Structure 1
Amino acid sequence: MKKLSCRQLCCIVALLAYTLLLSCKSGEKLYNKGRYSEAVLTFVKKLQRKPQDATATRLLPDAYHQALQSGEDRVNEWLRSNNQLKWESVRNEYRALQNLYNSIHGSPAALKLVQPKDYRDAITGAQENAAEIRYDRGTTLLNRGDKVSARQAYEEFGAALKLIPNYRDTKQRMDEAFQLGVVNVVVSQIEVRSPYYQFSADQFRDYLVRNLQQRNINRFVQFYDERIARSENLRPDEYIELRFFDFVVGQTFVDRIQRDVSKEIVTGTTKDTSGNTINLYQTVKATLYITKKTVVSKGLLDYRITDTNNGQVLRTDRIPGNYTWVNQFGTFRGDERALSDEDRKLMGGQDVPPPPPSDLFMEFTRPIYDVLARDLQSFYNSL
């Protein structure tokens, strides 16, 4: 092991001394600013490193006394308030005071100077009171019997369990609140005018329902396919009706274009009378025969969300979608040198058939699906 030089040892000692001095000044500064709890923790750390530190020994007892007084004053202020949830704030204050107790007990030097107060029983009592308040609030809300109150009750029971796990029958009441608060949303089957597209429409709906379920938009909203809901005798709270309106699949347009092109090209060089080299040009020509086949598929989707309890329409909209398939190919007559780079790309190719109608249906409904999924997520996320 390499030995440290005298100069290096002196630097290390000086650095440690500076660190201890800074720590002491930091604790004293916190004390002077009235930040007594922070000062207590700083002094305790200092005494763990240097049990005889004069500043920490002198100021720790009063810093702890002041921190204790401030904490208990805040507790009393909360106890005098009309805030129903005050016991949670009381518990937090007691926890902060208990943190000082634990810190001092971890330092023999600090424990010789201060006999800290143990707040464990006070914390337990405050937690029990806080849990009872949450439980009572949840019970009151649940007894109202409506979905909005049930969802609020669910949150209250959850807060009670965070305070005291397994508190009374809170878990059971929480489950009751969830079952009452949940909204069962059934997505309708989609009827289309042509049986040929029914399978594609079913795929659209199946993918939509599956995606909505997987997104977990809102814990209180559950989505069902209408077929599943019927088989399980599920009564929906809301019904999403989907209907494709005025759609066209595979509308075909064929354009045939004849275009003459020409280009001046260099065919060689010659010398002028002065001996200079000059280019020889020739104009070359060709005729292009281009076929452009365009297949258009488009349509509208109407959707409506209805409250099944009162028949109220909660939301309605119409979403457009379209998809265009294009195929171009061509031939030419004449001199190939007359063709531009773009012209060459069109040459060759063949008259390939468009995708089958079922695929075209899925393509034009793809943008409709994206908009519909966003709309439904926004609507049910704010429930």
Structure 2
Amino acid sequence: MVRSALSKVPYPGFTRDIVSFGIVKAVEVSGGDVSVSLALTSSDPAVAPALKKEAEAAISAIDGVTKAEVMVAVKSKKNPQEEEQSAPEESPMQKVRIAIAVASGKGGVGKSTFTANLACAMDRILREEGKPSSVGIMDCDIYGPSIPLMMGVNRRPEVVDGMIQPLENFGVRVMSMGFLVEEDIPVIWRGPMVMKTIQQFASNVDWGELEILFIDLPPGTGDAQLSLVQTVPLEGAVVVTTPQLAAVNVARRGAMMFDKVSVPLVGVAENMSYLLDEKSGDRQYLFGEGGGARTAEFLQTDLLGQVPLDPRIREGCDHGVPIVVSDPDLECSQVFRQIAQKIWDKFKLTKNDQSN
């Protein structure tokens, strides 16, 4: 609620808010007392007190807040004349137009496979609209990163001027913990290390100009998920589930986390929905039927699509070539494209309204 309130506070002289600018560094809540730390780079002495006043007013307006305290740390630029022409200290995420989390409460629903194909499908849509190199994947599954395998990239990223350069394949920029550790070495980290890594993926990776960044989250609602929503200004979240009741129940609980942190749901995608007999057109619902629709109805959001259970999807990711790239005319590839198109249409309409 505090971050949501602060997202309504613009940086002086700009239309962008202080949360998306990365100025909000810490939020602490104790009962009705709220303490917030801001950090900015500015040579204008009027900026800090103005932000402090507006931020404290925004926080005080929240129901239940009895005391609001905002502390502002200011670092002056060496050349004050340049400050008048520039925005606050720039974060790589400021060049990312739309950041979308891809999440599931339960493991084993094919979320990373879904993310890889969704990103490649989105890249094709944007290229057709004249927006090349506009899609990225941030693989936040620290303990079991699989995006490098699925996207066919396994090199070490370069570091240029202190910034990690994401690897790229099929037009999609990728950053993953899998690039930074040896393949056979397990990552045995406590929560703070996980949170620090996700923060570095957001602040120390040179994503460049991106229309959409898909963020592949690990299952659950733990440190990685909380760190992400505190670090990255998310535009929305896509929830992936499979039809069976066990997955649906966990997906609901996982999705409700985003409501708690004021991240809107883009919709629900049902994976492994049915096995298609291409000769007869018959569908076998191996894991049950209707779980995605029930999840979407419960969460009051849209069912984006139902991805069939097709062994070629798995084979493509095992070989590092997502099925939407190797065989875009298959029914499963077309479903991924339809889901990507629905997501793009939603945000394209919203962004156009905001720019007008």
Q: State the TM-score, normalized to the length of structure 1.
A: 0.27
- Structure having the higher Rg: 1
Q: Which has the higher helix share?
A: 1
The answer to which structure, 1 or 2, has the higher relative contact order (CA under 8 A, 6+ apart) is 2
